[in-house]
Amino acid sequence: MAKVEFIMGGVLTTVQDFGRIGYQKFGIGQAGVMDEYSYELSNILVGNKSGEAVFEITYLGPTLKVDEDVTFAVTGADVTPKVDGVEVAMYETHLLKAGSTLSFGKLKSGMRAYLAFSGEIGVEELNGSKSTLIKSKIGGYKGRALKPKDELEILNARDFVKRVIPKKYRPVMSQFAVLRTVLGPQDDYFTEEGIKKFFMSGGYTITKNADRMGIRLDGNPLEFKKGADIISDGTVKGSVQVPADGRPIVLMADRQTTGGYTKIATVITPDICKLSQMAPDGKVLFQQVSIEEAQKIYKDYRKKIEEIRNLV
């Protein structure tokens, strides 16, 4: 059992897994990782089962040290991981020896990185998940982001095994993305011209109002037939909500459980991963796909993850 002591917490470092599935009907937000693909790769590298909790790092990483040898890996955004001041490679396992310090330097690409340790982060599960939901102050470590002097344990740590994710499987971080979406459920609230603008207006720019709850976009406003309000109904990660000003908001991991604005479309899972790594001023285009196409893309995405797990 290794103890992890945080010397610095970073901008926003939280414990996350897939989130609380099946509790939105009780008003409990899902939370969970923003970039599921990079998260899966981090657990594969350290030999954890799919769904084990990791540390999600946003923009600027923490500084921490351990009192026993432990295996770790960092995936997602390139946050320049360093062991005792020496830079180490992303998408590879490394041994952090007892007394050594893991820190992070300049953000080179992306927005969110995933730090996985071989073993289990020693925080309690709540509704089947260790994920932190800061707005509700639940889950993770005391329901908040990590800060200096916080201490956690890594349970059931395993011996070091060198693993590397081949480059062809590593995600490419970009400030431009085509987001494939399934139309609906309230596309009938928009004019024909409004729907056309959504897909063919030249795209949207990510604003500074972008966080774990949602990513607000700027661009040509969409036109409604009558208005933006609906009777509140459920939201999912990737719901594209359009308030009265006609400018889309893509709902993310910490979204509200229900919403009273029309949702013109839903971004598919693999492309949510791309969006979660984009910074303000990034550019996105929406592309329509059918439900059948979306299902095939998702199946192929899951097969790819299993292929990596079997390969590495």
Distances in Å between the alpha carbon of 259 and those of 27, 204, 255?
Answer: 12, 22, 9
Task: Give the pLDDT of residue 202.
Answer: 85
Task: Give the pLDDT of residue 200.
Answer: 85
Instruction: Estimate to the nearest angstrom the gap between the alpha carbon of 294 and the chain centroid.
Output: 19
pTM of the model: 0.97
Ranges of the chain with pLDDT below 70: none
- Domains of the chain (ranges; CATH) run 2-169 (no CATH), 176-308 (2.40.100.10)
Q: Which of 12, 87, 28, 32 lies closest to 273, judged by CA?
A: 32
DSSP symbol at 190: B
Distance CA 117, CA 73 (A): 7
Task: Give the pLDDT of residue 201.
Answer: 77
The mean pLDDT of the chain is 97
Cis peptide before 248 (omega within 30 of 0): no
